[in-house]
Structure 1
């Protein structure tokens, strides 16, 4: 009945504008909430409170803990957005709470954080435990929130970041670098100034326990520092050169004989030498200016030449190039017998008076001694050969041999005999 003209009707002859499916008193055509539970009071659009969503957050007002949620805000099942929640009950809504799990009852700052949750200086240590709450951003902090620029570990008044001596004993006066006298190391050699005998050691030099490097030490007290001293053990009384070496320590010709006992300081390399550093060609035993190697009579300063190697010096040798003879041939005269008698008397005196040639004990010889003795052996061999003795008449120098003794008479009549031990002619004192 009374169905408006033109409206569709159901099987009961009723159009939508005439139906009230939920029987809430609002026809379906005008009912915003067509499924209102029976018995609930509805508003003029047919909705009860359980069906209304005043803030359009899709949570019905009957269940909406936050009925005034801002439009478009994401809400939870209770119809509340973060801006409406305070999960930890610290009075700071979750949308502003940087510490959403603050322990109930702890005072918080404007962002909802208690001291146990804050790290004001962002050093990784919460403010509640941070002794140094303003740590510079670029510095690392310890477990107490302090960086070296904020700490003074040894309590000397100098912060650790500029303290060169961080372990100063309590009570000691320190300098601007935090070091007491017993901690300073002015030359940075690892030895404190209090124990450093050499406080200005050059950089990069190794030092001993006293803080001294070789360039600062002179252990043998020769005024040449160890680093330049080639002879570091020079005895105190000896004079040294610029290398710190005395003559007793040097061997300039490197022959194994030290300079102070080397009688031949310029011996060539690889030469055989004797105990005083001389090679054969350097010796002049009789100091006559002729080296032993060229001296036929190396122990006779008066003689040096024996061309025919017969043991008779050339100046006494009537035949200096004939090793078989050396005495001038003279005519017989009455004086010959007289000279013969004199010779026999002299020989007798020498023989009866105890003239002996004592042989030196045998010694072990080396290559050098063998070379030195080679000339003596040749000389003794020649001298050992018996020669025919002419008569003594004549006015020139003469030599002869009698019973193993070599005799000579010079132009002035001086009679001499040859001493095999000294290898010299000895004037006869008759």
Structure 2
């Protein structure tokens, strides 16, 4: 499978997911004149993913047809966004219910799809570089496309575009190679226990998960603090969007570099550590009040560092996960990062009255802290043996 084929399937789904955070609040303001409802709609589309992640992972680990489940999640998401376009015409409770269902389905095409990416690549590093690129393109294109559409028309049109992207991704997923895993002999609850036990007690995986979650807390806070920074310095909060865009473009460039030339001279855990540390230090440098061009340049470079480090994180997550619980670990890991980003944004909003330059420095320190966590990664740790017997024995121990 070529990288283009995987990206053609994964990017539309992730564009739709990230774009909803722009479309739904504006839709609520336009139709119901209530921004609080918009926040509730976004929460309805995001919060269920954390709760559903372990069950979604178990389903993918046990099913004989993983493609069908991932494609179905894309169709459910498309239907939910299409229904949300009629907000104000259909009852609010119906839209909320549809978004909750789609939120519960989203782990299938977020962490779940990532757990199968190596099925179509000969090179694991290139596979997860492509997956990191998919997330970064979705993170840039989703909100950007949504913002363009709602600025020239109604937010309802934006919701339909997100629905179309989900539908396109669901169709494209049906052509991806996704090999079913050996079905464990024990039940779903035992499988959840095995996955949770491995995630918490397997030191390499625990370090990777904690580091990635802490880093995402900083990433979630950055957009709020960037707007606050330019509001305080130049009384033009719109310029904060330039800073956020610079970071997103830098992340995209870093992912493209990692996809074309995956770093091979350093150990994977070193790439993750150095990448997060570089992001943090450059973010601290960006906080210096030397003008907007300086801030944009430093933030762009910090974004570039996140491309290889995110790819390394995904690869380590795979290498340290038994095949029998791999999808569960990927969906839970993705859910933790999504939650951390949401909490980071909420905390940044509560602290928006503080000096924004100081907050940017704190974000940089958080990224550095996430890098330091990787110092706890056992040196020379071997990948987990992924054969079916090993996976079954892990479930047996948890039960």
What's the TM-score, normalizing by structure 2? 0.15
User: By percentage of residues, which structure has more strand?
Assistant: 1
Structure with larger Rg: 1
Higher normalized contact order (CA 8 Å, seq sep 6+, divided by chain length) = 2
TM-score by length of 1: 0.14
Instruction: Write 1 or 2 for the structure with the bigger share of helix.
Output: 2
